[in-house]
Each structure stands twice: as structure tokens, then as C-alpha cells.
Structure 1
């Protein structure tokens, strides 16, 4: 708890310093509606002035409806930590195929002899109960975000493994959200499959789901011409391409492809771990990068899903829930 409070205080201080240094720039909601007019109006009615472009869908009775403000269903965006659900889906698939078990430990896959993390299990990493911290070290990368830079630059798979070997655990068994834990999980799944994380996602999710416009954004795979989001003060941000931390938040997609992902998950997944229960039913996961915010709600019982993404850090959680409420 103390670590989380300190992290939050540090984050606030960093943001305030950044605003003092560079000064705010105006962010305005895009004028242009795209896609379904009724849904676009609902998006506009439930958006805030701290948002700019938004792309969204509703998926009900097997039919996806798309709309947006200044962006459409084919606009490429960063989905941030919604990427974690791809990683936990890969775990589910390896468990189903018998290639791994939920109780397989870190030490069963890589050499971590003598480390506190040695007996941490796959399901603990997936459910954020491993005791690992949110990040693998003090997040000095936060200071880079003041200047709209990517805080995960230069972190490799081996860096993640080395950090795990040197990590200490705190509050194991309690839920404490950990980017580090899911990054470690995804890299362990890659080693377990004798593959690369990028290839696992491509072969086991993107291709089966027909997601042709989605990819794992590494430090080298994001084009200089790919869209960039806006920082909280309105400046264009760097793309958050990641290597070591890719399983925790580096996927780039579109609303059209995320609708395909939702259908794929509804048809195939058991949602046993890696998601959070929604009060009104179903499950959710959100995500945020330096320039994007994302929310995905999936309800397996009703066979429906709702998604929104904005190109600023302003959260779209309330917006996505409003789209769901108005659609019922």
C-alpha cells in the first residue's frame, strides 16, 4: 500500500512539473462524426473536453456498430494494457494444449535459482497476485513522459528476466496490479513455446481472429508515419513501442480489429484470469499510454462487447460504460 501511495504521489509531482515546464496546450473534441450517427452522438454526449479523437464500437447480437469523432474504425491506436488480455489468452491456450500448467513456476521455465520469484506461478502473474511491484525498478521513465517520450525504451526480454531474478516480493497473494508481472508472464510463455512473444500473438490470436491491422508495437516495428497520441497538455507523444515489456502494453490495433478480437474471445476464451469483474455484469480491462486511453468490456453471458479509445490520456472508462448502458 505504501509503495502504491508513493508511486501515485511521484506520478502527480512529475505531471505537475511537466506542466510547469512546457505549459498547457489546448485539447478540443474533434468536430467530425464518423460511422453510425446515433452512436457518434452518444460518444459526443458522453465525452469530455480533455478528449480529442475517439473511436468506438458496440457488439450486440453478433453485429458490430462503429462510430467515432475525428477517427473511424480503421484508425490505428495504442490499446495499452488491454494488451495484457492477449497475454493471458496465450496462457489459457498453452494450458488448454497441455504445454504449461497454471501452477508452473518461473523457476520451471528459466534459471532463477535462489531468487524470491522462483516459485511464483503463472496464474499469480496473470492475476496480479505474485507480489511483484508494478514496475521492475523505480520508474525513472516517468520523467521521460514529461517530454512525451517512451518510458519503456531499451528494456529487453533478458532485462525482464534479470530484474525478476533480483526482485523482492511484497503482499504475495493480494491483488496488486503489476506491469512487470505480466511482462514476465508473456516472456516466459514465449520461452516455453520456443518462440518470440510477437510470433505467439500473431500465430495464436491475430491470424485466427482475422485481425490484419493489429500488431505488437516493438521499438522498431512502429512506422514513423503511424498515428501518435496527445499528451495531457496537448503535445504529440512518442509511440510506446516495447520489447521486454511488450506483453504488458504494446499492441496497436483498430476498432474494427478489436471487434474481431471481442468476437474471437467470446467464441473461444473462458475468461478465467487476467480480467476484472464489471459491477453490472461481464468483465473489463482498460489501458493507457502516454497518448491513448482504452476500455474494453466483454459480457460472455450476453454475448456482447463495448469498446472505446481516445487519443489522449483522459480515461474512456465512463464513456464505454455509458455506451453500454444506452445500448441496453
Structure 2
């Protein structure tokens, strides 16, 4: 089992897409609909931050919240201390400074908020949602968040940039941004589903592929980055934690996908994209 890091964001967005397809949530719902009542309206010039903007990184939220660096931060496990009260505390004092939906700005915090909102809406933990809503229906039996029993036994040792062993990461309230652990076989199942293989999640998967933002440097679906090479379009996402790197990409038209999982902190996305471009 490997930490897949930010590839987790595509799972979080798929959970959202599944709720939208079922009619229980809307992409354009303001995020305040699903936040505690004591958090002020998160708007800019009357325009609210929406669920879609959390999924496509156009919310205006920073990459990481300023208050994550306060208190005791363990550099070996830098998110562990950031519990839900800290996530909400940041939102209570946050003042949007850019029109939501207009600028792509990658945000681990935004994806973490989305995961937290889904937990609140469905009254289940992020791990329970991932396992019951995505993994079990797809037969992904070795994909999880916590490391218990067999997962701990089969967990690969990660290594940092210097080749030193690293500890597993605990993403606390930001689980939606990067907490999943998985295996190569499970991630191949996941990628085949993205390529259109019949599954109970087909409608939600297709929704997650639809462009929701088009910028000069980056276009986005829900969670997925969208890139073009020549006349060909492919979707992809990479991930990284203290001792792991990951890449998932696929070209639906050509029915071709790439999965790379590494237990070393050496980037692999260039390798994955090179396959897709060729």
C-alpha cells in the first residue's frame, strides 16, 4: 500500500459528483449551506464560494491556511495537529479577496474543506464515505485511510528526498486533500472506471470529467486537471506526501491510462504525462 497524496482529491470530488447525480447537492451550492451557522457568509462582492469551486481550485482559498503553522507542527507529520476546530477557526476570520470561479489557485485547504463538508452532510467520516461510496462498489478492497491490521502490515516504507525513512502522514481535518492509501491493483481498477468501464459510479465519473474551469495555464473538471496535446485530451492528477509520490492519468478517447505509485519523494508526474502525450 502506498500513500497516494493529492490523487485523493479526485476521490473527494467523485463523492461530490455522486451526491450531485443523486440530487442531494448542487455544484453551485454556496459552501455556507453545509458549514456551521456561526461561520459568516463566504462571499466576494455578493458572489458566494461554491462546492464546484472547492473541487476545481477556483475558490480563492490559499494553498494552506495561515493558522496551520501556529502551535506545535511536527515536520514529519505536518498536518496531524490541524483538527476541525482549526479549520473552522480559519473560515470564521477569512475574507475572500478574489472573485470566486475566476482564478485557478491550487488549494489543499479547499479540498480539505470539501471533504469536511461531505462528512457533515452525510454524517460519516471521510474514510467511511470513501470505502462505502466508492471502494466497495468498485471492488477496491485495499484502499483506505487508516492503517489498521492488514493495511499496516502491507504498507510500504516511504523515503524522503534524502533517502531517509519517513513516517505515515495523518491529514486530520484536511483528509479530503490527500489522506488515501491504496495499491497498484486498486488504482488500476479506479483508472479503468475513469476510462468508461461500466460501474455503479459511471454517471458521477462522467460528471467529474466535465470541464468546470478553463484558464490559460490550467483547465479543470471536478478534481481532475484537463490537458491537451495536439488533438488529444487527457485528464490527470499527481500526489505527494513525505515519502511517497503518485500519478494517475488517462485518455478516454484512446482508452489509455497510466498509474504510477512510488515510495520515494521523487516526482513521477513528468513520466506519467510523457506516456499520455505520446
TM range (shorter): 0.7 to 0.9
Offset at residue 219 of structure 1 (A) = 11
SS in structure 2 opposite 1:93?
A: helix
SS in structure 2 opposite 1:155?
A: coil
Given the alignment of the two structures, is residue 306 of structure 1 paired with residue 258 of structure 2, yes or no? Answer: yes
CA RMSD after TM alignment: 2.5
Render the CA deviation track for 1:234-277: whole Å, top value 9, x for unaligned: 11111012221111001001111100111223332121322111
Structure 1 counterpart of 2:190, from 258, 261, 273: 261
Number of the residue aligned with 2:129: 200
Q: What TM-score comes out, normalization by structure 1 length?
A: 0.69
Number of the residue aligned with 1:279: 228
Number of the residue aligned with 1:51: none
Offset at residue 178 of structure 1 (A) = 0.3
Given the alignment of the two structures, is residue 186 of structure 1 paired with residue 115 of structure 2, yes or no? Answer: yes
Which runs of 5 or more structure 2 residues have no equivalent in the other structure? 197-201, 211-221
> In 2, distance between residues paired with 1:207 and 1:168?
39
Contact between 1:112 and 1:165, CA under 8 Å: does it hold in 2?
Answer: no
SS in structure 2 opposite 1:181?
A: helix
Structure 1 counterpart of 2:18, from 67, 77, 93: 93
> In 1, distance between residues paired with 2:13 and 2:259?
19
Given the alignment of the two structures, is residue 160 of structure 1 paired with residue 87 of structure 2, yes or no? Answer: yes
Where do 4+ consecutive residues of structure 1 move more than 6 Å? 218-222
SS in structure 1 opposite 2:165?
A: coil
> In 1, distance between residues paired with 2:154 and 2:183?
16
Cα 1:127–1:163 change in 2 (3 A) is same
Q: Number of aligned pairs?
A: 248
Deviates more, 1:155-164 or 1:94-103: 155-164
Q: What TM-score comes out, normalization by structure 2 length?
A: 0.81
> In 1, distance between residues paired with 2:189 and 2:128?
19
Q: Which has the larger radius of gyration?
A: 1
Offset at residue 144 of structure 1 (A) = 4.0
